[in-house]
Amino acid sequence: MNVPLLDLHPQTAALRDEILRAVTEVLDSTAYILGPKVTRLEEEVAAYSGAGFGIGVSSGTDALLMALMALEIGPGDRVLTTPYSFFATVGAILRVGALPVFADIQAETFNIDPDKMAELLADDAKKGKSIKAIIPVHLFGQCADMGKIVALAEQYGIPVIEDAAQAIGSEYPMSEKDGSVRWRRAGSMGLAGCFSFFPSKNLGCLGDGGMVISSDKAFADNLRCYRNHGAQPKYYHAKIGGNFRLDPLQAAVLSVKLPHLEQWHKQRQENSRIYRELFVQAGLTDNPVILPKAVYANSPDAAAHHHHIYNQFVIRAPRREELRNYLHKQGVGCEVYYPVCLHKQDCMKKYGTIELSLPIAEQLAQDSLALPIFPELGREQLARVVEVIAEFYRS
């Protein structure tokens, strides 16, 4: 039995007629740049995520880039972020001329470590330096520790831009001043949150697409200006922006898919539960395989909230490359996210980060492996994945 890492055919087939109708509406309307389909999606995603405003953009990468531009971050500025993410996170920083400052990550979550962030911020303060923005990444569908991150940002007066590309709908148990817990959705806890609608995401379109959300009206208005070449009004350019507009065809597709997102999240969560059951039965947990940890699962009322949405189900496994090759030979899809940390990429040599030692991120780059987790997988397919892994370690 072959088990692909991702198969979009079942989802597309189930929604094919509805998607075609929505796309045809755009075709017949001749509203091909922004327009009502984009406005509708912006309102829907903002409401879903618990934010005041949504700004549809051309990709998740451009969402990050535009947010930094709107903060007027540029040459010589420094931005604190994670070394363990898709390259777009650091690429956006570099494209505005700023310099990334990397804090190591937590082994159990793959997300940036607030304690390491605190050390860097304190050290910068002593040296009279300043960090202009913080970009935490909610990796693989689980939020970074935003309570601590937001507290640090407030302490030092630094805006937070959430890279929520893999985490739309994921929730974090934010402690309130009265001691209660309020679950907040990814992207709604900082000044802005950036989403990607790349096809492999939990909510994916038919190509590239993205969105920035914010509850700060002035910042949201600024983002809309940057989205359209910095023009406000048309042909009057007080700023230098770019062409970052979301295509209405993609917006129409996403509006069809969004009502199904909660069910897709639940199916991914159920697949995670089945995986854990199967790994326990196979005697593979903790040694040799370390399963992903849902760190907020024991928080108050966690069962009623998406404490993890499993955009990826990432294990840690010894002899990772051998296991990866064995799975592929047996027809089981898998992938390494990410084999080289951001600070170790060749293009970073001129920025002086290659020599940095961030041991947790570097270790996870060596032993992490993503397994199939998409909603339409059946129990027998999940069992096959675990069976092949068991065969490998027992051979």
Q: Averaged over 40-49, what is the pLDDT?
A: 98
Residue 180 CB neighbours (<10 A): 9
211-245 pLDDT, tens digit per residue, is 999 999 999 999 999 999 999 888 999 899 999 99
Domain boundaries, the chain: 9-258, 261-394
369-392 pLDDT, tens digit per residue, is 999 999 999 999 999 999 999 999
CATH 3.40.640.10 fits 9-258, yes or no: yes
- Report d(CA 22, CA 31) in Å as an integer: 13
Give the CATH superfamily of 261-394. Answer: Aspartate Aminotransferase, domain 1 (3.90.1150.10)
CA 255 from chain centre, in angstroms, equals 20
pLDDT band at 276 (very low <50, low <70, confident <90, very high): very high
240-260 pLDDT, tens digit per residue, is 999 999 999 999 999 999 999
pLDDT band at 129 (very low <50, low <70, confident <90, very high): confident
Q: Which two tokens stand for residue 209?
A: 């697409």
94-128 pLDDT, tens digit per residue, is 999 999 999 999 999 999 999 999 999 999 988 88
pLDDT above 90: residue 286: no
Length of the chain, in residues: 395
3-state secondary structure of 151: helix
pTM (two decimals): 0.96
What are the strands of the beta sheet with 78-81, ordered from one edge? 99-102, 78-81, 133-135
3-state secondary structure of 77: coil
Amino acid code (one letter) for 265: H
pLDDT of 128: 85
Residue 229 CB neighbours (<10 A): 17
298-335 pLDDT, tens digit per residue, is 999 999 999 999 999 999 999 999 999 999 999 999 99
344-356 pLDDT, tens digit per residue, is 999 999 999 999 9
195-214 pLDDT, tens digit per residue, is 999 999 999 999 999 999 99
pLDDT above 90: residue 395: no
pLDDT band at 340 (very low <50, low <70, confident <90, very high): very high
Phi-psi region of 256 (alpha: psi -120 to 50; beta: other; left: phi over 0): alpha
Tell me if domain 9-258 and domain 261-394 are identical in fold: no
Residue 21 CB neighbours (<10 A): 11
- Report d(CA 344, CA 184) in Å as an integer: 33
pLDDT above 90: residue 142: yes
pLDDT of 178: 83
Q: Are strands 181-185 and 171-175 parallel, antiparallel or unpaired?
A: antiparallel
pLDDT of 179: 82
Contact status, residue 159 vs residue 134, Cβ threshold 8 Å: yes
> Rg for the chain (alpha carbons), in Å?
21
pLDDT of 177: 83
CA 315 from chain centre, in angstroms, equals 18
pLDDT of 68: 98
- Report d(CA 375, CA 263) in Å as an integer: 9
DSSP category for residue 292: P
